[in-house]
Structure 1
């Protein structure tokens, strides 16, 4: 069984520390202010895997966009390794639910996009091959997206993120559109990649079981405007098993926090 510690000697320093302090954010909607996040504070250690759960539309994905630097918070502070987050950075990479691959570009060229945009492809093109190898897609480097299954397309999206050697991998329901068997396989792949690479991972999911199988810690949000209702540390190593009584009890507790206790 793998050590439950999320930072070990081989991976020390790979992940970044994330600090969210008294964060509030909202949007303007037809002339009215729509509050989305309300006084959210959260600290994530380097190399930790944290999952965010909450009602649909409560603001989880908005929080990820703020962490990625794609939006600026109304109030509060966000810091990566003690530095304010004010814009996107290659060290913080987002993987979305939709792989968003360019259909006219081959797999290799889709993965190379980040390096190409930074003007680094000529000198670091070997990283594309390495990223494809990490996700098991080296034989498909010359394929087009239309020739891939849904799970393979999502692995291309992961490779595209990994090629930038991120220190924070931001996962916005990356497995949400996959069939159940592919999703189970991809969950294990996410854990394997995280354990090998040592980056910090922040995952939004609506699947309570998925959060419990992947994360060191689960954060449960209220309805909008989202506040943190609970933080649960998962005291289990890897691999984890769906029928573990400890995880089943935590699932029941989380469903209760989400107002779905009667569904258990």
Structure 2
């Protein structure tokens, strides 16, 4: 069976998942979140329950503005949930941590720093860049940019700049990569190529990955599970299990069937 659609994934959210590899286990337990107070209070997340197993790649789909990126910020430790709890390997997430690295839609590179120095930022902040220089070189090799280590950001294409952002994340050997539309601003051909590159990096490094995307095909191509959210305040509407081997082929009829199901859940299947 290629896909298993679970209408009530929250009921299975706390099933034991054995820890293995360098990836983190993330438990999102009864998480709700809101902005503002009183009449201006805006409910964003409503009792979300989800587990990401160590080394698993999970994608989040849902209507624009439903709260997906807010959930990523909570997992990253950038904000605290209004209620509920998020844990990494059994420990509550309360602050940002180098084991959880966020990659945003914009590369956010410092224009006055060369590629090597942009990638080294995390190690520099921790005061270990001098003795760990090899990690910067290794990260650049992993994204295929070792020949551009002395270039400035303005000399790079959009895809190359996003590769630098990925290298800057990978240099910290993260247990969890939090991906907030990281390929959203790339042209279509570059985006397709980088999807394959991202899968390869994930398989090689073994980190857990939590991705927000508005691209249904991208979610199904990359992830092992796709979580579909409702309109705001976001609830988990369904879970699609993408039980297909890597590398995946975009023309696979099973991916096409999953795509139709995801679009149906999002209310966008009328024209397909």
Q: 2:80 aligns with which of 60, 69, 72?
A: 72
Aligned to 2:239: 231
List gaps (5 residues or longer) in structure 1.
1-10
Give the deviation of 1:239 after TM superposition: 1.1
Q: Which residue of 2 aligns with 1:24?
A: 32
The corresponding residue for 2:253 is: 245
Two-structure CA RMSD over aligned residues (Å)? 1.2
Candidates 53, 63, 68, aligned match of 1:55: 63
Q: 1:108 aligns with which of 88, 96, 116?
A: 116
Match of 2:10 in 1: none
State yes or no: 1:149 paired with 2:157: yes
Q: Which residue matches 2:48?
A: 40
State how far apart, in whole Å, the 2-side matches of 1:143 and 1:235 are: 41
- Does the alignment pair 1:82 with 2:90? yes
SS at 2:234 equivalent? coil
Q: CA deviation at 1:263?
A: 2.6
Could you state the TM-score of these two structures normalised by the residue count of structure 2?
A: 0.92
TM-score by length of 1: 0.94
C-alpha displacement at 1:31, in angstroms? 5.5
CA–CA separation in structure 1 for the residues paired with 2:100 and 2:86:
13
Report the alpha carbon displacement of residue 29 of structure 1 after superposing the two structures with TM.
7.3
Aligned partner of residue 262 in structure 1, secondary structure: coil
2:184 aligned with 1:176, yes or no?
yes
TM-superposed CA distance for 1:193, in Å, is 0.2
* Structure 1 equivalent of residue 213 of structure 2: 205
1:137 to 133, 145, 154: 145
Match of 2:74, SS state, is helix
List structure 1 segments (4+ residues) > 3 angstroms apart after TM superposition: none
- The residue number in structure 2 matching 1:219 is 227
CA displacement, residues 136-175 of structure 1 (integer Å, 9 cap, x when unaligned): 0000000000000000000000000000000000100000
Q: 1:92 maps to what in 2?
A: 100
Q: Do the aligned residues in 2 keep the contact of 1:12 with 1:198 (CA within 8 Å)?
A: no
Pick aligned residue for 2:170 from 162, 179, 190: 162
Match of 2:41, SS state, is strand
In structure 1, distance between residues paired with 2:261 and 2:196: 24
Deviation sequence 1:75-123 (CA, Å, 0-9, x none): 0010000000000000000000000000000000000000111111111
Question: 1:63 is paired with a residue of what secondary structure?
Answer: helix
| Aligned equivalent of 2:134 | 126
